[in-house]
Structure 1
Amino acid sequence: MTPCPWWPADLLPHTGDMILIDQVLEFDAEQILTRIHVRGGGLFNRPDGSLPAWVGIELMAQTVAAYAGCQARVGDKPVELGFLLGTRKFECNVEHFPLGSDLLIHARRSLQDDSGMGVFECHLTGGGIQASARLNVYRPPQSANYLAEGAAHD
Structure 2
Amino acid sequence: MTETTLPSILELVPHSGAMSLLDRVIAVEGERLSAEVVVPADGLFSHDGGVGAWVGIEYMAQAVAAWAGWQSRQLGEAPRIGLLLGTRRYRCSLPRFAAGQTLQVDIERGYQADNGLGQFECRIHADGTELASATLTVFGPKDPSAFLNGETV
| TM-score category, normalised to shorter length | over 0.9
Cα pair 2:123 2:130 within 8 Å, conserved: no
Q: Per-residue CA shift, 1:18-61, capped at 9, x if unaligned? A: 0000000111220100000112111100132x010000000000
2-structure distance, mates of 1:113, 1:61? 18
**Structure-2 residue corresponding to 1:131:** 132
CA distance 1:116–1:2, change in 2 (3 Å): farther
1:3-152 equivalences in 2 (<5 Å): 3=3, 5-48=6-49, 50-127=50-127, 128=129, 130-149=131-150
Identity score, percent? 38
CA contact (8 A) 2:41 2:99 kept: yes
Whether the 8 Å contact between 1:2 and 1:28 is mirrored in structure 2 is no
Structure 1 residue ranges (4+ consecutive) displaced by more than 6 angstroms after TM superposition = none
Q: Deviations over 1:53-84 (max 9, x none)?
A: 00000000000000000000011112100000
Structure 2 residues not aligned, in runs of 5+: none
Distance in 2 between residues matched to 1:98 and 1:15, nearest whole Å: 23
CA separation in 2, counterparts of 1:117 and 1:29?
A: 18
Structural RMSD (CA): 1.3
* Partners of 2:63 and 2:107 within 8 A in 1: yes
- Superposition deviation, residue 129 in structure 1: 5.3
| Counterpart Cα distance in 1 of 2:114 and 2:147 | 15
